[in-house]
Structure 1
Amino acid sequence: MDTHTGNATTPDGTRLTYRDHHAPDSQHPPLLLLHGLAGHMGEWDDLLPLLLADGHRVITYDARGHGASTRRPPDMTRASAVRDVTTLIEELSLPTPVTLLGQSLGGHTAFLTAAAHPHLVDSLILVEAGPAGPSPELPAEIAAWLDSWPTPFTSFSSAAAFLGHEAWARGLEEREDGHHPRWDRDTMLAAVAELSIRAYWPQWARVACPTLVVRGAKGTMRKAEMARMARTTRGAQIRTGRPPQPQPQTLTEVIEDAGHDVHLDQPRRLHAAVRTFLSARNAT
């Protein structure tokens, strides 16, 4: 495997730090992985070798305001997150269309990208992510969650124990007084501001590419949202004149013994679902 770490600069001057992982002789569309709120690209480390073993080229990156990317960017709108995806595709000269795999807020960005730039996206994999809303209570819930972090954490082990996964702890910055988050609280709240006042069903209705929606059995995504997503995208396929598919446009999968962080709770089960979906997609 060949891995290259670099930085891309967006139109508003935001720096995006990425890792480009090349599997030998990849014959599949590139996979771009998008993490969730307050996370980092290292969250995909358990899933990454499994995808590479399948022969995929995989790109991971720290979203704006997160990790090694610009911590306080001038814009945290949903539109800016979509522009980040297109910037990375252009910066890396990725052969298009690509496959987008996103969890939580990263999944939200992924389907907005597919809706706005259908020619760039071959297929979508959304983990605990959908268009439901508005959620007026969301900013307060996120603020309470972030404020509950007893930072700085005194040790890596204490951070992993509190956050629930070592992957979350690996995203922290170690300083002399302990381990600190690599994000700014106000920036995180700005990232979810639009979700508190609107839903994104119109954008979802414009998604016409094959999609896999994954929900953790113990996660936060509602069954009704997943079911409505499947019904809506089937209609989008018909309206856009895409050739009829031998299976529903949106497939759904529930991963047992997984919460909101399906990719951390059950990476192998998630990989099995992703592999089955992409194998069927690549065979068409």
Structure 2
Amino acid sequence: MVLESFQVGTGDVSTVLLHGFLGSGRNLRSLAVAWTQADPRRRILLPDLTGHGQSPALPPDADLSTLARDVVDTLDAQGFTGAVDWVGHSLGGRVSLAASLHAPERVKRLTLLDIAPGPVPLDLSESGYVLDILLQAPPRADNRRALRADLTGRGLSEGLSDWLLMNLEPDGDGVRWRFDRDALFRLHKRVNGEDLWPAVERPVHPPVRCIRGGRSRYVPEESARRMEAAGCPVAVLPEAGHFVHVDSAQTLLAWLMAG
């Protein structure tokens, strides 16, 4: 399945940059632009993952391998041949790990942004909390302002509500959610339970590195030590939360450039 995507940069170092759960490629545009300006060798593809943004809907039994295969199909369709660098935030990182297992010939190296290979416990999943609130919101409303009021009234911050509202589309004289919230709920439960440690602990694998937010719980100390033992260096952005590309954009860029 070919996904909606756009490109930043025209260099010869092919890179795919993958967003997190409930996001879209646009969430990482600023990072991609800054990276290609600092390193003109980069050519970066930013897809909307399956079921997200403007991409096709999720198949009923979609899992991480489904999402990874769709990214590979999109790389092919956009002329990104051979092995490329995969960089993924949160869900995007887990899709990248799945790609290294199911299409290893397409993965040159992996960069994980605040995510670990193991299953994500429900009590650590910020996206699960957001999804629970999203499922309670009405399917449509007369305008964006009404849905924003509903989300903030259920406890979401204004910033997070505005981020979710990027997924609205016109519906007659109102607006509705572009994505299938129930399908995303099923996907969330399925992909968070997948164990991807074989991607970093098998005898031969592409180079893997990770950077985590010091205020985030997605990469616990035990997982960081286990990754380090498997040859996957783990760096920390002390002031960042889960959205490392937002909270510490310049420091993250410097780390990406140094790798």
TM-score range for the pair, normalised by the shorter chain length: 0.7 to 0.9
Q: Which among 130, 133, 147 is matched to residue 119 of structure 2?
A: 133
1:20 and 2:45 matched: no
| Deviation by residue 1:59-111 (Cα, 9 ceiling, x = unmatched) | 00111111111134344212211211221222123132100010111100101
Instruction: Mark the CA change 1:267 to 1:171 in structure 2 (over 3 Å): closer, same or farther.
Output: farther
Query: 3-state SS of the aligned residue for 2:59?
Result: coil
Q: Which among 246, 249, 252 is matched to residue 264 of structure 1?
A: 246
* Distance of 2:119 and 2:252 partners within structure 1: 25
1:42 matched residue in structure 2: 26
Where do residues 191-206 of structure 1 align in structure 2 (5 Å cutoff)?
A: 191-195=187-191, 197-206=193-202
2:87 matched residue in structure 1: 101
* Distance of 2:194 and 2:74 partners within structure 1: 27
The more displaced of 144-153 and 90-99 is: 144-153
* Distance of 2:44 and 2:159 partners within structure 1: 26
Provide the TM-score with structure 1 as the length reference. Answer: 0.74
* Distance of 1:129 and 1:66 partners within structure 2: 19
The more displaced of 131-140 and 264-273 is: 131-140
Give the deviation of 1:36 after TM superposition: 0.9
Q: Does structure 2 conserve the Cα–Cα contact (< 8 Å) formed by 1:115 and 1:203?
A: yes
* Distance of 2:189 and 2:70 partners within structure 1: 18
Aligned residues: 245
Query: 3-state SS of the aligned residue for 1:16?
Result: coil
Q: Does structure 1 conserve the Cα–Cα contact (< 8 Å) formed by 2:96 and 2:110?
A: yes
2:257 matched residue in structure 1: 275
Give the deviation of 1:169 after TM superposition: 4.5
Give structure 1 stretches of 5+ with no counterpart.
Answer: 1-9, 235-249, 278-284
Query: 3-state SS of the aligned residue for 1:192?
Result: helix
Higher helix residue share: 2
Q: Which among 195, 215, 224 is matched to residue 218 of structure 1?
A: 215
Query: 3-state SS of the aligned residue for 1:253?
Result: strand
* Distance of 2:148 and 2:129 partners within structure 1: 25
Query: 3-state SS of the aligned residue for 1:193?
Result: helix
Amino acid at match of 1:212: R
Give the deviation of 1:38 after TM superposition: 0.7
* Distance of 1:47 and 1:155 partners within structure 2: 31
Q: Does structure 1 conserve the Cα–Cα contact (< 8 Å) formed by 2:6 and 2:47?
A: yes
1:144 matched residue in structure 2: 132
Q: Does structure 1 conserve the Cα–Cα contact (< 8 Å) formed by 2:135 and 2:182?
A: no
1:239 matched residue in structure 2: none
1:154 matched residue in structure 2: 145
Where do residues 109-258 of structure 1 align in structure 2 (5 Å cutoff)?
A: 109-133=95-119, 135=121, 141=129, 143-147=131-135, 153-154=144-145, 162-164=158-160, 168-173=164-169, 180-195=176-191, 197-206=193-202, 208-221=205-218, 222-232=220-230, 234=231, 250-258=232-240
The more displaced of 121-130 and 202-211 is: 202-211
| Deviation by residue 1:141-178 (Cα, 9 ceiling, x = unmatched) | 46424336687540798789524386554444356776
Instruction: Mark the CA change 1:18 to 1:173 in structure 2 (over 3 Å): closer, same or farther.
Output: same
* Distance of 1:48 and 1:156 partners within structure 2: 30
What is the alpha-carbon root mean square deviation over aligned residues? 3.0
Q: Does structure 1 conserve the Cα–Cα contact (< 8 Å) formed by 2:60 and 2:183?
A: no
Q: Does structure 2 conserve the Cα–Cα contact (< 8 Å) formed by 1:136 and 1:197?
A: no
Give structure 2 stretches of 5+ with no counterpart.
Answer: none
Query: 3-state SS of the aligned residue for 1:87?
Result: helix
* Distance of 2:163 and 2:6 partners within structure 1: 16
* Distance of 2:223 and 2:6 partners within structure 1: 32
